[in-house]
Chains A and B, each alone.
Chain A
Amino acid sequence: MLKSSITFILLFVTILSTFLTVKAEDNSSAGSSHTTEKFNASKLIMDHIADAYEWHIAKIGSTHVSLPLPVILYSSNSGFHIFSSSHFHHGTESYSGFLIAGEASKYKGKIVELAVDGSEVRPFDISITKNVVSLFASIVILLLIFTTIAKRYKEGFDRPPKGIQSWMEPIVLFIRDDVVKASIGEEKHQKYLPYLLTVFFFILINNVMGLIPILPGGANLTGNIAITLVLALFTFVIILFSGSKDYYMHIVNAPGIPWWLKLPIPLMPFVEIMGVFTKPFVLMVRLFANITAGHIIVLGFYSLIFIFGEKSIYAGFGVSVISIAFTIFMGLLELLVAFIQAYVFTLLSALYIGMALEQHEEHSEKRH
């Protein structure tokens, strides 16, 4: 009850803020001598989904309200640079040879350095972007939650769970018993439990934070391919290092397969080796696509309001009712997806690790 009402309020805030922003945009374009800028849904959606060098909150009148973030660059021409992203003036100005690449560039939205010949060169860029801030925020939240809980557990295991502990304990137990123990087995699961628990709660909290439209939330972190790539890479590395002899033998020489599928042309080994890479690849793409799709759909419903609003203000208001209803529905659905995707990523990681650990004693008997 509480959770859904919170979601509702948050959605309402988003709706309101989006409405204000776009209305302000109308005013500013009317005030200036420029031709009226058409509402571009795909730009709005893509700008939201992509990373940014500043945390844009709203646009009131013609002033952008945003949180400038530190830019950290290393260029082979000019060395190290650390400066605030506010120097770019929301991407309109360049600063000490750097500028945010425009729509036409292949580095669209990224910081580039203009070379002598006028071409754009991408510097070594480890700026604290919107997603990095969101990442840090989620890590701080995770650490706060779980060290608080751990403190309570240290007081004594026989004390009943209290507060946030009673929220998290069933989830921890579920991950431990039904995901990790079930996939990896009783005796070896303890080694992989910390990683899998971290992955689960990291994905979960970032999925949920992505649904919350105000400051530490709202970034599309788990819908960013770099984040899911790193997560999948961790699973991949763990699989590689914990793979048993049988696991590697199985890849090279899969038992129970006719020899002519292996010998002149190593068809089966090729397929098996592909499988080693497709597993983490699929993990990466699934999480990325699910979360990004959720964000796109919600933003699409909002965009509908303004697309119709451009035709007629009344149509815009009319559509807003439907859009809001659908967005609330999608918000709830995304909340479910947030849990499901965190669960699926953890479950599949655990399953892959479990498969890599398996010892195949029965294969030697099966060989005729």
Chain B
Amino acid sequence: MGLVMPDFGLLFWMVLSFSLLMWLLGKFAWKPILKALSAREDSIEKALQSAEHAKSEMLKLHAGNEKLLKEAMLERERIVKEARELKDSIVREAKNQAVVEANKVMEEAKAAIIRERAEAVNEMKSVISTFSIEIAEKILKEHLSDNKKQKDLVANYMENIKLN
């Protein structure tokens, strides 16, 4: 029976010292310990969150870079294509221009040649007519140097007139 009968002295000391223990531990141990533990947990959580944030930020950045790179490549292609087109068009235009220019020069040259030739022909005609008059004069002078020949000629003309 003594075993299950609480002893007053022990009850007294237990209530007293356990209350004291609770107060002391609560004030000097649990408070700082629990505060530190929750502070640590908070900081871990915060660190994890910021790491996650940084990761997503990195991914975003990476995706942005990729996009930028892609855009840059597209831009380059476009520029190169444009340049090629420009070059082609310039070359084509130049060719056309050249052909036109050449044609024009040819035309002009042809015209000049024709004109020159005509002038030359005209000059030649006048020179030839002068020469032929001089030759005819000389021949006539030769032929009509004696009387007999003059008379034959006149006779000849007369004969021709008769035929007509």
Identify the A interface with B (CB < 8 A).
46, 49-51, 72, 108-110, 124-129, 131-132, 135-136, 139, 142-143, 146-147, 149-150, 153-154, 156-158, 169, 172-173, 176, 190, 193-195, 197-198, 201-202, 224-227, 229-231, 234, 288, 292
Contact = CB atoms under 8 A, between A and B. Distances in A.
Given A126-B8, A154-B32, A157-B43, 10 more contacts: A51-B7, A110-B7, A129-B7, A146-B30, A153-B35, A154-B36, A169-B37, A230-B15, A288-B4, A292-B3
Interface of B: 2-15, 17-18, 20-22, 24-26, 28-37, 39-40, 43
15 contacts: A72-B9, A125-B9, A132-B9, A143-B24, A150-B32, A153-B33, A157-B39, A172-B33, A176-B37, A198-B22, A198-B25, A224-B7, A225-B3, A226-B11, A292-B3
A105 B30 CA distance: 46
A125 B7 CA distance: 9
B4 A127 contact: no
Contacts of B24: 143
9 closest Cβ contacts across the A-B interface? A146-B29, A153-B36, A226-B6, A157-B36, A194-B26, A226-B10, A157-B39, A230-B14, A157-B40
A157 B41 CA distance: 9
A150 B29 contact: yes
Nearest to A131: B10
A142 B13 contact: no
Contact of A147 (B5, B12, B29, B35): B29
Which residue among B26, B29, B34 has the maximum number of chain A CB atoms within 10 Å of its CB? B29
Q: Is the interface of A mostly helix, strand, loop or mixed?
A: helix
Contacts of B31: 150, 194
A226 B17 contact: no
Which residue among B22, B25, B40 has the maximum number of chain A CB atoms within 10 Å of its CB? B25
B36 to A, nearest CB: 4
A231 B21 CA distance: 12
Nearest to A197: B30
Nearest to A46: B3
B17 A109 contact: no
Contacts, number: 124
A226 B14 contact: yes
A154 to B, nearest CB: 5
Contacts of B25: 142-143, 146, 194, 197-198, 201
A154 B29 CA distance: 10
A51 B33 contact: no
B36 A225 contact: no
B109 to A, nearest CB: 97
A230 B18 contact: yes
A288 B3 CA distance: 10
Contacts of A193: 30, 34
Nearest to A124: B8
Which residue among A146, A154, A169, A173 has the maximum number of chain B CB atoms within 10 Å of its CB? A146
Contacts of A135: 10, 13-14, 17
B10 A224 contact: yes
A274 to B, nearest CB: 20
B6 A202 contact: no
Nearest to A132: B13
B21 A202 contact: yes
A197 B18 CA distance: 13
A71 to B, nearest CB: 10
A132 B18 contact: no
A149 to B, nearest CB: 6
A229 B6 contact: yes
Contacts of B14: 135, 226-227, 230
A194 B19 CA distance: 12
A86 B139 CA distance: 194
A202 B24 CA distance: 13
B22 A194 contact: yes
Contact of A150 (B2, B4, B8, B33): B33
A230 B19 CA distance: 10
B18 A202 contact: yes
